[in-house]
Chain A
Protein backbone atom coordinates (compact mmCIF):
# COMPACT_ATOMS: atom_id res chain seq x y z
CA UNK A 1 0.00 0.00 0.00
CA UNK A 2 2.67 2.45 1.03
CA UNK A 3 4.59 1.79 -2.11
CA UNK A 4 1.79 3.38 -4.12
CA UNK A 5 0.73 6.08 -1.66
CA UNK A 6 3.75 8.36 -1.77
CA UNK A 7 4.45 8.16 -5.52
CA UNK A 8 0.79 8.92 -6.21
CA UNK A 9 0.90 12.12 -4.24
CA UNK A 10 4.25 13.12 -5.63
CA UNK A 11 3.45 12.43 -9.27
CA UNK A 12 0.07 14.08 -9.14
CA UNK A 13 1.55 17.09 -7.39
CA UNK A 14 4.32 17.18 -9.96
CA UNK A 15 1.81 16.99 -12.83
CA UNK A 16 -0.35 19.68 -11.28
CA UNK A 17 2.64 21.89 -10.64
CA UNK A 18 3.92 21.42 -14.16
CA UNK A 19 0.59 22.29 -15.74
CA UNK A 20 0.26 25.24 -13.39
CA UNK A 21 3.60 26.60 -14.48
CA UNK A 22 2.77 26.08 -18.15
CA UNK A 23 -0.58 27.83 -17.78
CA UNK A 24 0.96 30.70 -15.86
CA UNK A 25 3.59 31.09 -18.55
CA UNK A 26 0.99 30.87 -21.31
CA UNK A 27 -1.26 33.46 -19.73
CA UNK A 28 1.67 35.89 -19.74
CA UNK A 29 3.14 34.94 -23.06
CA UNK A 30 -0.20 34.97 -24.86
CA UNK A 31 -1.90 37.72 -22.89
CA UNK A 32 -4.39 39.67 -24.97
CA UNK A 33 -4.32 43.31 -24.12
CA UNK A 34 -7.79 44.64 -23.81
CA UNK A 35 -8.83 48.16 -23.10
CA UNK A 36 -10.20 48.09 -19.53
CA UNK A 37 -12.70 50.74 -20.55
CA UNK A 38 -14.53 48.20 -22.70
CA UNK A 39 -15.72 46.34 -19.62
CA UNK A 40 -16.71 49.53 -17.88
CA UNK A 41 -18.66 50.78 -20.88
CA UNK A 42 -20.30 47.38 -21.15
CA UNK A 43 -21.47 47.64 -17.56
CA UNK A 44 -23.18 50.92 -18.31
CA UNK A 45 -24.98 49.69 -21.43
CA UNK A 46 -28.44 48.15 -21.09
CA UNK A 47 -27.00 44.71 -21.88
CA UNK A 48 -30.03 43.46 -23.78
CA UNK A 49 -27.98 42.60 -26.89
CA UNK A 50 -30.92 43.80 -28.99
CA UNK A 51 -28.73 44.68 -31.96
CA UNK A 52 -30.49 47.99 -32.52
CA UNK A 53 -27.14 49.80 -32.74
CA UNK A 54 -26.00 47.64 -35.64
CA UNK A 55 -23.51 45.61 -33.63
CA UNK A 56 -24.21 41.96 -32.80
CA UNK A 57 -23.95 42.42 -29.06
CA UNK A 58 -23.46 45.05 -26.42
CA UNK A 59 -19.85 43.92 -26.05
CA UNK A 60 -18.96 44.65 -29.66
CA UNK A 61 -20.77 47.95 -29.35
CA UNK A 62 -18.76 48.83 -26.25
CA UNK A 63 -15.58 47.91 -28.09
CA UNK A 64 -16.59 50.17 -30.98
CA UNK A 65 -17.34 53.05 -28.63
CA UNK A 66 -13.94 52.77 -27.01
CA UNK A 67 -12.25 52.60 -30.40
CA UNK A 68 -14.14 55.70 -31.42
CA UNK A 69 -15.98 54.01 -34.28
CA UNK A 70 -19.37 54.96 -32.96
CA UNK A 71 -20.97 57.04 -30.25
CA UNK A 72 -22.92 55.91 -27.20
CA UNK A 73 -26.00 57.68 -28.54
CA UNK A 74 -26.27 55.04 -31.27
CA UNK A 75 -27.66 52.70 -28.64
CA UNK A 76 -31.39 52.82 -29.20
CA UNK A 77 -32.07 51.87 -25.61
CA UNK A 78 -29.88 54.61 -24.21
CA UNK A 79 -30.99 57.40 -21.97
CA UNK A 80 -29.31 60.75 -21.56
CA UNK A 81 -27.77 59.85 -18.22
CA UNK A 82 -26.12 56.75 -19.64
CA UNK A 83 -24.83 58.56 -22.73
CA UNK A 84 -23.38 61.26 -20.51
CA UNK A 85 -21.60 58.77 -18.27
CA UNK A 86 -20.11 56.79 -21.13
CA UNK A 87 -19.10 59.89 -23.04
CA UNK A 88 -17.31 61.15 -19.99
CA UNK A 89 -15.53 57.83 -19.55
CA UNK A 90 -14.21 57.63 -23.08
CA UNK A 91 -13.61 61.35 -23.37
CA UNK A 92 -16.23 62.21 -25.96
CA UNK A 93 -18.13 65.41 -26.23
CA UNK A 94 -21.77 64.94 -25.40
CA UNK A 95 -23.65 65.00 -28.65
CA UNK A 96 -27.16 66.09 -29.25
CA UNK A 97 -29.54 63.86 -27.43
CA UNK A 98 -31.83 61.45 -29.17
CA UNK A 99 -35.52 62.05 -28.59
CA UNK A 100 -36.78 59.13 -26.57
CA UNK A 101 -39.24 57.12 -28.61
CA UNK A 102 -41.85 54.54 -27.69
CA UNK A 103 -43.73 52.04 -29.78
CA UNK A 104 -47.46 52.40 -30.36
CA UNK A 105 -49.82 49.94 -32.02
CA UNK A 106 -51.97 51.52 -34.69
CA UNK A 107 -54.94 49.23 -34.17
CA UNK A 108 -57.57 48.82 -31.50
CA UNK A 109 -59.74 46.28 -33.23
CA UNK A 110 -59.70 43.51 -30.66
CA UNK A 111 -61.68 40.30 -30.76
CA UNK A 112 -64.94 42.04 -29.88
CA UNK A 113 -64.62 44.91 -32.30
CA UNK A 114 -63.66 43.05 -35.46
CA UNK A 115 -64.87 40.17 -37.57
CA UNK A 116 -62.96 36.99 -38.29
CA UNK A 117 -62.92 35.47 -41.77
CA UNK A 118 -61.96 31.98 -40.67
CA UNK A 119 -60.50 30.00 -37.78
CA UNK A 120 -56.72 30.03 -37.90
CA UNK A 121 -55.10 26.96 -36.37
CA UNK A 122 -51.56 27.24 -37.64
CA UNK A 123 -48.32 28.35 -36.05
CA UNK A 124 -48.93 30.88 -33.31
CA UNK A 125 -47.04 33.68 -34.97
CA UNK A 126 -48.30 36.67 -36.93
CA UNK A 127 -45.61 36.25 -39.57
CA UNK A 128 -46.85 32.74 -40.32
CA UNK A 129 -50.53 33.66 -40.12
CA UNK A 130 -50.17 36.51 -42.56
CA UNK A 131 -49.09 34.09 -45.28
CA UNK A 132 -52.60 32.67 -45.35
CA UNK A 133 -54.89 35.23 -46.99
CA UNK A 134 -53.27 38.09 -45.05
CA UNK A 135 -54.47 36.57 -41.78
CA UNK A 136 -57.88 35.68 -40.43
CA UNK A 137 -59.00 39.14 -39.46
CA UNK A 138 -61.74 40.80 -41.49
CA UNK A 139 -59.66 43.97 -41.69
CA UNK A 140 -56.52 43.38 -43.74
CA UNK A 141 -54.75 46.24 -41.96
CA UNK A 142 -55.52 45.07 -38.44
CA UNK A 143 -53.43 43.47 -35.72
CA UNK A 144 -53.52 39.66 -35.87
CA UNK A 145 -52.94 39.41 -32.14
CA UNK A 146 -50.67 36.34 -32.20
CA UNK A 147 -47.93 38.15 -30.35
CA UNK A 148 -44.88 38.15 -32.62
CA UNK A 149 -44.04 41.56 -31.19
CA UNK A 150 -44.51 40.30 -27.62
CA UNK A 151 -42.01 37.52 -28.21
CA UNK A 152 -39.58 39.72 -30.09
CA UNK A 153 -39.35 42.52 -27.52
CA UNK A 154 -36.01 42.12 -25.73
CA UNK A 155 -37.13 44.37 -22.90
CA UNK A 156 -40.42 42.64 -22.06
CA UNK A 157 -42.25 45.87 -22.72
CA UNK A 158 -45.06 44.39 -24.79
CA UNK A 159 -47.73 42.14 -23.38
CA UNK A 160 -50.85 40.65 -24.92
CA UNK A 161 -53.99 42.27 -23.62
CA UNK A 162 -57.18 40.34 -22.89
CA UNK A 163 -58.81 41.64 -26.06
CA UNK A 164 -56.08 40.11 -28.24
CA UNK A 165 -54.12 43.28 -28.86
CA UNK A 166 -50.58 44.02 -27.72
CA UNK A 167 -50.10 46.58 -24.97
CA UNK A 168 -46.87 48.57 -24.81
CA UNK A 169 -45.52 49.53 -21.40
CA UNK A 170 -44.05 52.99 -21.92
CA UNK A 171 -41.82 52.65 -18.88
CA UNK A 172 -40.12 49.54 -20.24
CA UNK A 173 -40.12 50.43 -23.94
CA UNK A 174 -36.78 51.80 -25.08
CA UNK A 175 -37.75 52.52 -28.66
CA UNK A 176 -35.35 49.98 -30.13
CA UNK A 177 -37.77 49.34 -32.99
CA UNK A 178 -37.48 45.55 -33.11
CA UNK A 179 -41.26 45.14 -32.86
CA UNK A 180 -41.65 47.56 -35.77
CA UNK A 181 -39.63 45.31 -38.04
CA UNK A 182 -41.19 42.10 -36.73
CA UNK A 183 -44.84 43.09 -37.24
CA UNK A 184 -45.90 41.76 -40.65
CA UNK A 185 -48.78 44.21 -40.81
CA UNK A 186 -46.49 47.17 -40.19
CA UNK A 187 -48.86 48.71 -37.67
CA UNK A 188 -46.33 49.39 -34.93
CA UNK A 189 -44.59 52.73 -35.09
CA UNK A 190 -42.19 54.66 -32.91
CA UNK A 191 -43.43 58.02 -31.75
CA UNK A 192 -41.75 60.56 -29.45
CA UNK A 193 -42.26 59.57 -25.85
CA UNK A 194 -43.65 62.94 -24.82
CA UNK A 195 -46.46 62.60 -27.36
CA UNK A 196 -49.37 61.07 -25.52
CA UNK A 197 -51.94 60.81 -28.29
CA UNK A 198 -51.79 58.50 -31.28
CA UNK A 199 -54.09 57.11 -33.94
CA UNK A 200 -55.10 53.54 -33.24
CA UNK A 201 -56.09 52.47 -36.73
CA UNK A 202 -54.20 51.69 -39.92
CA UNK A 203 -57.05 51.08 -42.34
CA UNK A 204 -56.86 52.86 -45.66
CA UNK A 205 -60.23 51.45 -46.67
CA UNK A 206 -63.28 53.58 -47.29
CA UNK A 207 -65.76 54.15 -44.50
CA UNK A 208 -68.33 51.59 -45.56
CA UNK A 209 -65.84 48.79 -45.87
CA UNK A 210 -64.26 49.64 -42.53
CA UNK A 211 -67.60 49.63 -40.74
CA UNK A 212 -68.36 46.19 -42.09
CA UNK A 213 -65.36 44.64 -40.38
CA UNK A 214 -64.60 46.81 -37.37
CA UNK A 215 -66.56 48.98 -34.96
CA UNK A 216 -63.62 51.17 -33.99
CA UNK A 217 -61.92 51.64 -37.35
CA UNK A 218 -61.17 54.98 -38.98
CA UNK A 219 -63.73 55.77 -41.67
CA UNK A 220 -61.66 58.58 -43.10
CA UNK A 221 -64.16 61.34 -42.37
CA UNK A 222 -61.42 63.90 -41.86
CA UNK A 223 -62.99 65.60 -38.85
CA UNK A 224 -59.77 65.21 -36.89
CA UNK A 225 -57.83 67.04 -39.58
CA UNK A 226 -60.30 69.92 -39.45
CA UNK A 227 -60.32 70.37 -35.70
CA UNK A 228 -56.57 70.06 -35.24
CA UNK A 229 -54.80 73.40 -35.55
CA UNK A 230 -51.67 74.11 -37.61
CA UNK A 231 -52.24 71.27 -40.09
CA UNK A 232 -51.10 68.88 -37.39
CA UNK A 233 -53.17 66.16 -39.04
CA UNK A 234 -53.45 65.63 -42.76
CA UNK A 235 -55.61 63.08 -44.51
CA UNK A 236 -53.76 60.63 -46.74
CA UNK A 237 -55.43 57.63 -48.36
CA UNK A 238 -58.44 57.78 -46.05
CA UNK A 239 -56.27 57.84 -42.98
CA UNK A 240 -55.18 60.78 -40.86
CA UNK A 241 -51.45 61.33 -40.66
CA UNK A 242 -50.18 63.04 -37.54
CA UNK A 243 -47.17 65.30 -37.95
CA UNK A 244 -45.50 64.96 -34.56
CA UNK A 245 -42.78 67.37 -35.67
CA UNK A 246 -45.31 70.16 -35.38
CA UNK A 247 -46.26 69.03 -31.88
CA UNK A 248 -49.96 69.54 -32.63
CA UNK A 249 -52.74 69.82 -30.08
CA UNK A 250 -54.47 66.51 -30.62
CA UNK A 251 -56.89 66.55 -27.70
CA UNK A 252 -59.73 67.77 -29.87
CA UNK A 253 -59.17 65.03 -32.41
CA UNK A 254 -59.56 62.49 -29.60
CA UNK A 255 -62.93 63.88 -28.64
CA UNK A 256 -64.31 64.80 -32.02
CA UNK A 257 -63.51 61.53 -33.75
CA UNK A 258 -66.86 59.78 -34.29
CA UNK A 259 -65.18 56.35 -34.31
CA UNK A 260 -63.00 57.01 -31.25
CA UNK A 261 -59.91 56.02 -33.19
CA UNK A 262 -57.47 58.13 -31.21
CA UNK A 263 -55.93 56.88 -28.00
CA UNK A 264 -54.94 59.32 -25.30
CA UNK A 265 -52.41 57.80 -22.92
CA UNK A 266 -53.31 60.47 -20.38
CA UNK A 267 -56.47 58.96 -19.03
CA UNK A 268 -57.79 62.06 -17.29
CA UNK A 269 -56.90 65.43 -18.72
CA UNK A 270 -57.07 68.33 -16.31
CA UNK A 271 -59.93 70.69 -17.01
CA UNK A 272 -59.58 74.42 -17.06
CA UNK A 273 -60.77 76.93 -14.54
CA UNK A 274 -61.19 80.69 -14.91
CA UNK A 275 -59.65 82.91 -12.28
CA UNK A 276 -60.67 86.28 -10.88
CA UNK A 277 -58.55 88.13 -13.45
CA UNK A 278 -61.22 87.45 -16.07
CA UNK A 279 -62.65 90.65 -17.48
CA UNK A 280 -65.30 88.95 -19.54
CA UNK A 281 -63.86 89.70 -22.98
CA UNK A 282 -65.48 86.56 -24.36
CA UNK A 283 -62.59 85.38 -26.53
CA UNK A 284 -62.47 82.02 -24.83
CA UNK A 285 -66.19 81.52 -25.21
CA UNK A 286 -65.87 82.11 -28.94
CA UNK A 287 -62.87 79.88 -29.35
CA UNK A 288 -63.86 76.91 -27.23
CA UNK A 289 -64.59 74.09 -29.69
CA UNK A 290 -66.56 72.17 -27.08
CA UNK A 291 -68.79 75.07 -26.07
CA UNK A 292 -67.68 74.59 -22.52
CA UNK A 293 -67.38 78.23 -21.48
CA UNK A 294 -70.36 80.27 -20.43
CA UNK A 295 -70.77 83.85 -19.24
CA UNK A 296 -72.15 87.30 -20.02
CA UNK A 297 -69.86 89.88 -21.68
CA UNK A 298 -68.04 91.95 -19.09
CA UNK A 299 -68.57 89.46 -16.32
CA UNK A 300 -66.34 86.68 -15.11
CA UNK A 301 -66.91 83.60 -17.27
CA UNK A 302 -67.32 80.08 -15.96
CA UNK A 303 -66.35 76.66 -17.27
CA UNK A 304 -68.96 73.98 -17.79
CA UNK A 305 -66.86 71.16 -16.42
CA UNK A 306 -68.87 68.38 -18.03
CA UNK A 307 -68.11 69.73 -21.49
CA UNK A 308 -64.47 70.74 -21.03
CA UNK A 309 -62.02 68.17 -22.43
CA UNK A 310 -58.88 69.99 -21.37
CA UNK A 311 -57.58 70.86 -24.82
CA UNK A 312 -56.05 74.08 -23.47
CA UNK A 313 -56.87 76.29 -26.44
CA UNK A 314 -58.51 78.89 -24.19
CA UNK A 315 -55.50 78.91 -21.88
CA UNK A 316 -53.29 80.11 -24.71
CA UNK A 317 -55.88 82.51 -26.08
CA UNK A 318 -56.85 84.40 -22.91
CA UNK A 319 -55.37 87.92 -23.06
CA UNK A 320 -55.65 88.28 -19.29
CA UNK A 321 -53.97 84.92 -18.64
CA UNK A 322 -56.86 84.22 -16.32
CA UNK A 323 -57.46 80.65 -17.45
CA UNK A 324 -55.35 77.91 -15.99
CA UNK A 325 -55.15 74.17 -15.80
CA UNK A 326 -53.66 72.12 -13.06
CA UNK A 327 -51.52 69.08 -13.67
CA UNK A 328 -52.17 68.98 -17.38
CA UNK A 329 -49.66 67.21 -19.57
CA UNK A 330 -48.74 67.06 -23.17
CA UNK A 331 -50.23 70.04 -24.94
CA UNK A 332 -49.64 73.34 -23.18
CA UNK A 333 -46.88 75.14 -25.03
CA UNK A 334 -44.51 77.54 -23.35
Chain B
Protein backbone atom coordinates (compact mmCIF):
# COMPACT_ATOMS: atom_id res chain seq x y z
CA UNK B 1 0.00 0.00 0.00
CA UNK B 2 2.77 2.33 0.99
CA UNK B 3 4.60 1.61 -2.21
CA UNK B 4 1.51 2.24 -4.32
CA UNK B 5 1.13 5.64 -2.72
CA UNK B 6 4.73 6.47 -3.51
CA UNK B 7 4.27 5.38 -7.13
CA UNK B 8 1.24 7.64 -7.38
CA UNK B 9 2.90 10.72 -5.89
CA UNK B 10 6.00 10.15 -7.97
CA UNK B 11 3.95 9.97 -11.16
CA UNK B 12 1.95 13.09 -10.36
CA UNK B 13 4.66 15.41 -9.12
CA UNK B 14 8.21 14.14 -9.21
CA UNK B 15 8.22 12.52 -12.62
CA UNK B 16 5.36 14.51 -14.10
CA UNK B 17 4.83 13.16 -17.60
CA UNK B 18 4.60 16.53 -19.26
CA UNK B 19 6.86 18.77 -17.29
CA UNK B 20 9.64 16.40 -16.28
CA UNK B 21 9.52 13.55 -18.80
CA UNK B 22 8.40 15.79 -21.69
CA UNK B 23 5.80 13.33 -22.94
CA UNK B 24 2.51 14.50 -24.43
CA UNK B 25 3.72 18.02 -25.24
CA UNK B 26 1.40 18.26 -28.23
CA UNK B 27 -1.91 18.36 -26.29
CA UNK B 28 -0.14 20.28 -23.54
CA UNK B 29 0.21 23.22 -25.94
CA UNK B 30 -2.77 22.43 -28.12
CA UNK B 31 -5.57 21.96 -25.60
CA UNK B 32 -4.43 24.32 -22.88
CA UNK B 33 -6.11 27.50 -24.03
CA UNK B 34 -9.11 27.18 -21.73
CA UNK B 35 -9.52 25.45 -18.39
CA UNK B 36 -12.71 23.55 -19.22
CA UNK B 37 -11.22 21.93 -22.34
CA UNK B 38 -8.07 21.20 -20.34
CA UNK B 39 -10.12 19.38 -17.72
CA UNK B 40 -11.97 17.40 -20.39
CA UNK B 41 -8.73 16.40 -22.03
CA UNK B 42 -7.20 15.50 -18.67
CA UNK B 43 -10.10 13.25 -17.73
CA UNK B 44 -9.91 11.54 -21.11
CA UNK B 45 -6.18 10.98 -20.66
CA UNK B 46 -6.64 9.44 -17.19
CA UNK B 47 -9.33 7.18 -18.64
CA UNK B 48 -7.27 6.04 -21.62
CA UNK B 49 -4.07 5.66 -19.60
CA UNK B 50 -5.77 3.36 -17.09
CA UNK B 51 -7.21 1.23 -19.86
CA UNK B 52 -4.00 1.17 -21.84
CA UNK B 53 -1.82 0.21 -18.89
CA UNK B 54 -4.04 -2.76 -18.10
CA UNK B 55 -4.32 -3.76 -21.76
CA UNK B 56 -0.64 -3.51 -22.52
CA UNK B 57 0.26 -5.25 -19.26
CA UNK B 58 -1.92 -8.22 -20.17
CA UNK B 59 -0.55 -8.45 -23.69
CA UNK B 60 3.00 -8.09 -22.44
CA UNK B 61 2.88 -10.66 -19.69
CA UNK B 62 0.62 -13.24 -21.36
CA UNK B 63 1.71 -13.05 -24.98
CA UNK B 64 5.08 -11.36 -25.40
CA UNK B 65 6.97 -12.71 -22.39
CA UNK B 66 5.93 -16.39 -22.73
CA UNK B 67 7.02 -16.40 -26.37
CA UNK B 68 10.16 -14.41 -25.69
CA UNK B 69 9.03 -11.61 -27.96
CA UNK B 70 9.82 -8.57 -25.79
CA UNK B 71 11.40 -7.03 -28.88
CA UNK B 72 7.88 -6.51 -30.23
CA UNK B 73 6.75 -4.37 -27.33
CA UNK B 74 6.68 -1.09 -29.29
CA UNK B 75 4.67 -2.42 -32.20
CA UNK B 76 2.38 -4.50 -30.01
CA UNK B 77 1.69 -1.63 -27.60
CA UNK B 78 0.82 0.80 -30.37
CA UNK B 79 -1.53 -1.80 -31.77
CA UNK B 80 -3.14 -2.49 -28.41
CA UNK B 81 -3.59 1.17 -27.50
CA UNK B 82 -5.01 2.21 -30.86
CA UNK B 83 -7.46 -0.69 -30.99
CA UNK B 84 -8.46 -0.28 -27.38
CA UNK B 85 -9.25 3.41 -27.72
CA UNK B 86 -11.17 2.78 -30.90
CA UNK B 87 -13.10 -0.01 -29.23
CA UNK B 88 -13.92 2.06 -26.16
CA UNK B 89 -15.02 4.94 -28.34
CA UNK B 90 -17.43 2.73 -30.25
CA UNK B 91 -18.85 1.16 -27.12
CA UNK B 92 -19.17 4.44 -25.25
CA UNK B 93 -21.00 6.07 -28.12
CA UNK B 94 -23.68 3.41 -27.96
CA UNK B 95 -23.93 2.72 -24.28
CA UNK B 96 -23.11 5.96 -22.44
CA UNK B 97 -23.72 8.82 -24.89
CA UNK B 98 -23.29 11.40 -22.11
CA UNK B 99 -19.76 10.26 -21.35
CA UNK B 100 -19.05 10.04 -25.07
CA UNK B 101 -20.16 13.65 -25.47
CA UNK B 102 -17.78 14.69 -22.71
CA UNK B 103 -14.73 12.67 -23.78
CA UNK B 104 -15.56 11.99 -27.41
CA UNK B 105 -13.62 14.71 -29.14
CA UNK B 106 -10.51 14.08 -27.10
CA UNK B 107 -10.29 10.31 -27.49
CA UNK B 108 -8.96 10.24 -31.06
CA UNK B 109 -6.42 12.90 -30.08
CA UNK B 110 -5.02 10.68 -27.37
CA UNK B 111 -4.85 7.45 -29.35
CA UNK B 112 -1.52 8.19 -30.93
CA UNK B 113 -0.14 10.24 -28.08
CA UNK B 114 3.41 9.45 -26.99
CA UNK B 115 2.46 9.84 -23.33
CA UNK B 116 0.34 6.67 -23.52
CA UNK B 117 3.00 4.64 -25.27
CA UNK B 118 5.57 6.09 -22.88
CA UNK B 119 3.47 4.93 -19.96
CA UNK B 120 3.20 1.40 -21.32
CA UNK B 121 6.93 1.20 -21.92
CA UNK B 122 7.77 2.65 -18.52
CA UNK B 123 5.55 0.04 -16.90
CA UNK B 124 7.72 -2.62 -18.52
CA UNK B 125 11.01 -0.94 -17.70
CA UNK B 126 10.04 -0.53 -14.06
CA UNK B 127 8.66 -4.07 -13.93
CA UNK B 128 5.36 -3.10 -12.29
CA UNK B 129 2.67 -5.69 -11.69
CA UNK B 130 -0.93 -5.14 -12.77
CA UNK B 131 -2.04 -3.13 -9.71
CA UNK B 132 1.13 -1.04 -9.72
CA UNK B 133 0.72 -0.34 -13.44
CA UNK B 134 -2.83 0.82 -12.88
CA UNK B 135 -1.85 3.14 -10.03
CA UNK B 136 1.07 4.46 -12.06
CA UNK B 137 -1.29 5.12 -14.98
CA UNK B 138 -3.82 7.00 -12.86
CA UNK B 139 -0.99 9.00 -11.30
CA UNK B 140 0.48 9.81 -14.69
CA UNK B 141 -2.93 10.87 -15.97
CA UNK B 142 -3.53 13.02 -12.89
CA UNK B 143 -0.10 14.60 -13.36
CA UNK B 144 -0.92 15.31 -16.99
CA UNK B 145 -4.23 16.91 -15.97
CA UNK B 146 -2.50 18.97 -13.32
CA UNK B 147 0.09 20.28 -15.77
CA UNK B 148 -2.57 20.99 -18.36
CA UNK B 149 -4.76 22.86 -15.89
CA UNK B 150 -1.92 24.98 -14.54
CA UNK B 151 -0.94 25.82 -18.11
CA UNK B 152 -4.53 26.63 -19.09
CA UNK B 153 -4.94 28.84 -16.04
CA UNK B 154 -1.80 30.77 -16.90
CA UNK B 155 -2.72 31.05 -20.56
CA UNK B 156 -6.18 32.36 -19.73
CA UNK B 157 -4.48 35.15 -17.83
CA UNK B 158 -1.91 35.67 -20.58
CA UNK B 159 -4.80 36.40 -22.94
CA UNK B 160 -5.49 39.55 -20.99
CA UNK B 161 -1.92 40.63 -20.40
CA UNK B 162 0.08 43.12 -22.35
CA UNK B 163 2.58 40.86 -24.10
CA UNK B 164 5.07 42.13 -26.69
CA UNK B 165 3.75 41.52 -30.19
CA UNK B 166 6.51 39.09 -31.14
CA UNK B 167 5.87 36.83 -28.15
CA UNK B 168 2.10 36.53 -28.41
CA UNK B 169 0.60 33.08 -28.78
CA UNK B 170 2.84 30.04 -28.91
CA UNK B 171 6.19 31.74 -28.07
CA UNK B 172 5.04 32.94 -24.66
CA UNK B 173 3.35 29.56 -24.10
CA UNK B 174 6.67 27.81 -24.69
CA UNK B 175 8.48 30.17 -22.31
CA UNK B 176 5.84 29.55 -19.65
CA UNK B 177 6.11 25.80 -20.22
CA UNK B 178 9.87 26.01 -19.67
CA UNK B 179 9.49 27.95 -16.43
CA UNK B 180 6.80 25.53 -15.24
CA UNK B 181 9.08 22.63 -16.01
CA UNK B 182 11.87 24.19 -13.97
CA UNK B 183 9.45 24.77 -11.12
CA UNK B 184 8.48 21.11 -11.12
CA UNK B 185 12.13 20.17 -10.72
CA UNK B 186 11.63 21.43 -7.18
CA UNK B 187 9.69 18.25 -6.43
CA UNK B 188 12.61 16.04 -7.36
CA UNK B 189 13.61 15.25 -3.76
CA UNK B 190 10.07 14.58 -2.54
CA UNK B 191 10.09 10.78 -2.76
CA UNK B 192 12.83 8.27 -3.49
CA UNK B 193 11.90 5.46 -5.78
Enumerate chain A interface residues (CB-CB to B < 8 A): 4, 7-8, 11-12, 15-16, 19-20, 22-23, 26-27, 30-32, 123
Contacts and interface: CB of A to CB of B under 8 A. Distances in A.
Given A12-B72, A31-B94, 7 more contacts: A7-B67, A8-B72, A11-B63, A11-B72, A12-B76, A26-B91, A30-B91
A135 B75 CA distance: 61
Contacts of A4: 68-69, 71
Given A8-B69, A8-B72, A12-B75, A23 B93 contact: no
Contacts of A11: 63-64, 67, 69, 72, 76
Nearest to B93: A32
B interface SS class: helix
Contacts of B75: 12
B56 to A, nearest CB: 12
A23 B90 contact: yes
Contact of A15 (B79, B90, B160): B79
Contacts of B94: 30-32
A31 B90 CA distance: 8
Contacts of A19: 79-80, 83, 87
A22 B83 contact: yes
Interface string B79-97: 1100100110011011100
A20 B87 CA distance: 10
B155 to A, nearest CB: 15
Interface of B: 59, 63-64, 67-69, 71-72, 75-76, 79-80, 83, 86-87, 90-91, 93-95, 160
B76 A15 contact: yes
Contacts of A27: 90
Contact of B87 (A7, A22, A32, A123): A22
Contacts of A16: 79
Contact of A12 (B79, B86, B95, B160): B79
Contacts of A32: 93-94
A179 B177 CA distance: 35
B87 A26 contact: yes
Contacts of B71: 4, 8
A123 B160 contact: yes
A114 B63 CA distance: 78
Contacts of B76: 11-12, 15
A10 to B, nearest CB: 9
Complex A-B, nearest 8 residue pairs according to Cβ-Cβ distance, in ascending order: A19-B83, A30-B94, A26-B90, A30-B90, A123-B160, A30-B91, A32-B93, A26-B87
B162 to A, nearest CB: 8
Nearest to B84: A19
Nearest to A28: B90
Nearest to B87: A26
Contact of A30 (B63, B68, B93): B93
17 contacts: A8-B72, A11-B72, A12-B75, A15-B59, A15-B79, A16-B79, A19-B79, A19-B80, A19-B83, A19-B87, A22-B87, A23-B86, A23-B87, A26-B87, A30-B93, A31-B94, A32-B93
Contacts of A15: 59, 63, 76, 79-80
A96 B95 CA distance: 41
A20 B71 CA distance: 22
A330 B83 CA distance: 63
Nearest to A18: B83
A241 B64 CA distance: 80
A26 B95 CA distance: 12
Nearest to A31: B94
Contacts of B87: 19, 22-23, 26
Q: Report which residue of A7, A12, A30 has the largest number of chain B beta carbons within 10 angstroms of its beta carbon.
A: A30
Contacts of A7: 67, 69
Given A12-B75, A15-B63, A31-B94, A23 B69 contact: no
Given A8-B72, A12-B75, A30-B94, A23 B67 contact: no
A158 B123 CA distance: 54
Contacts of B86: 23
Contacts of B91: 26, 30
Contacts of B79: 12, 15-16, 19
A43 to B, nearest CB: 20
A104 to B, nearest CB: 29
B61 to A, nearest CB: 14
Contacts of A123: 160
Nearest to B86: A23
Contacts of A23: 83, 86-87, 90
Nearest to A14: B63
Q: Report which residue of B90, B91, B94, B95 has the largest number of chain A beta carbons within 10 angstroms of its beta carbon.
A: B90
Contacts of B95: 30
